[in-house]
Amino acid sequence: MDPRGVDPLERALHSARALVLADLIAGDVARAEVVSLVEESVSHRRWWVEQWPEGAAYVAGLVAQDVQDALMERYGRWPLCPVCSEAEGVEAESHALDVEPELGPDPHWVCGKAGVVIAAVGSLGGGRRAVGGTDTDPAGPEHGRGGRDASGEPGGAS
């Protein structure tokens, strides 16, 4: 226990949940079924971090990757790269950001194509909107095929 009486493993799990939820909220995709995906990941990662307490600093990136993978299976890419969609326009094929490091502390969303760090996990709301990809997008059809672009306006690549 730390001096505040909070188990460090629980603190890491709660922090990971909050960071990923912040990114989902920033992308307007934090609907109930999507939040359930976060809860499933946190539950799974609780067991993982109990087995390897030294990995607590890695939980936020792992939860972000888990949620990203689950969203890809159900809805499409999330979060979309705002850099390439701005540079290439609506006709370009959209791609999702990656979490780097894949297993390490201080995870960030990066564009692997352009080699650019976009934001720390939990900080996508810093003026950029990046949401996933199809008419079944968790942001809903009212946002169009690509959700919202970096300006916050509906549109983006499909």
CA distance 115 to 156: 20
Query: Are 99 and 68 spatial neighbours (Cβ–Cβ below 8 Å)?
Result: yes
- What pLDDT sits at residue 87? 61
Q: Which residues of 99-121 are buried (b: 16+ CB within 10 A; e: fewer)?
A: bbeeeeeebbbbbeeeeeebbeb
Cis peptide before 8 (omega within 30 of 0): no
Structure confidence at residue 48 (pLDDT): 94
Residue 88 phi, psi dihedral angles, 5° rounding = -100, -15
Report the pLDDT averaged over residues 77-102. 80
DSSP 148: B
Question: Tokens for 83?
Answer: 């850099």
Predicted pLDDT at 3: 57
DSSP state of 100: E
Give the residue among 49, 104, 154 at the shortest CA–CA distance from 14: 49
Question: pLDDT digits over 17-46, tens only?
Answer: 999 999 999 989 999 999 999 999 999 999
Beta bridge partners of 120: 108
93: confidence class by pLDDT, cuts 50, 70, 90: confident
Please tell me the distance from the alpha carbon of residue 21 to that of residue 17, in angstroms, as a whole number: 6
At 121-133, the pLDDT tens digits run 999 987 433 333 3
Positive or negative: CA dihedral 134, 72, 70, 102:
negative
Instruction: Specify the DSSP class assigned to residue 123.
Output: -
Q: What is the pTM assigned to this prediction?
A: 0.74
Q: Residue 42: in which H helix or E strand, if any?
A: helix 32-51
